[in-house]
Amino acid sequence: MRFLVQIVLSGIATGAIYGLVAVGYSVTYATMRVLNFGLGMWVMLGAMVGYTLHVTFGLNVLIAMLGMMTVLGGLGLLAERFTVLPFVRAGSDVWIMSTLAVGLLFINAAELLWGRNPLAIPPFLGKDPINFAGIGIYPQEILIVIVACAVMVALDVFYQYTLLGKAFRATASSTEVAGLMGINTRRIASLAYALAGCLAGFAGLLVAPVTLAEPQMGTILGLKAFAIAIIGGLEAGRGIFVCGLLYGVLEGLLSGYLYTGIRDIIGFTLMILVLFVRPNGLFGRRAEERA
């Protein structure tokens, strides 16, 4: 029983990371009908930049997080402007390859700047597990779940109660109508791309103390997050996050009771099954139901 509880708790923490990255896919798709297929590499970049700011330069972890998100937000604006916008305007789907190319560029740059060896980021709340009822829970895992949930609540507040958030929602509903209302949809699209990159980078810095930071860390994570986004429904941010949590628990249970290798084939198998039954995802809506 204790082993089961331990697996579930660790799975929730892992799922929270998947959920944050998966929501990043939703942000860009809902707003601009574009997916950043290299988003997993932004996870890695967040961890690497966070390592430099926090470990190398010795900055406070909160300042390092803000600095990392500033860097990734700026890169997101540039990436959208030069690697996505030209193809979208031309009505071409080449942006699919360009987003992957940017991700691969990040991996090569990371190997040049930080090397190929894993880099250790100290856990933000200490290394020793917290023992409760005979179960050891690592503080970093608790922090991941709390912070990830807090980010989702903050996103919900942003979308529901701020003018910029309402502009995001209006643009997601109809770009043409939003433009007629005076909303700068071009700016919203750029900000959405930057926000997705920040979410991925934030997730990378959160999980790096558990997994270590290295150039390839985001590749599989990004693929799993994409599968989760499809399973939840690309326009259903809350549903996607819930799917991420559940997926993390399922992955942990199968790895703990069967064998580790099976966890890497779960996501896309579930994605195929869900798409067969519900093409718009578990929490998605049919296109004609959109306001």
Q: Are 132 and 66 in contact (CB under 8 A)?
A: no
Check residue 291 and give its pLDDT. 40
Q: What are phi and psi of 81, to 5 degrees?
A: -65, -40
Check residue 285 and give its pLDDT. 73
Longest dimension (CA), the chain: 60
Distance, in Å, from the CA atom of 20 to the CA atom of 26, rounded to the nearest integer, reads 10
Give residue-wise pLDDT tens across range 262-286: 777 777 788 888 888 888 889 977 6
Check residue 286 and give its pLDDT. 63
* DSSP annotation of 138: -
Check residue 72 and give its pLDDT. 97
- Mean pLDDT split into 10-residue runs, the chain, 291 residues: 84 95 95 93 97 96 96 96 93 92 96 95 87 80 95 95 94 90 93 96 95 93 93 92 94 79 75 87 67 40
Q: What is the CATH classification number for the domain harbouring 137?
A: 1.10.3470
Looking at the structure of the chain, the number of domains it has is 1
Annotate 144-182 with b (16+ C-beta within 10 A) or e (fewer).
bbebbeebbeebeeebeeeeeeebbebbbeebeebeeee
Distance, in Å, from the CA atom of 135 to the CA atom of 154, rounded to the nearest integer, reads 31
Give residue-wise pLDDT tens across range 10-25: 999 999 999 999 999 9
> Domain of 45?
2-289
The DSSP secondary structure of 157-216, one letter per residue, reads: HHHHHSHHHHHHHHHHH-HHHHHHTT--HHHHHHHHHHHHHHHHHHHHHHHHHHH-B-TT
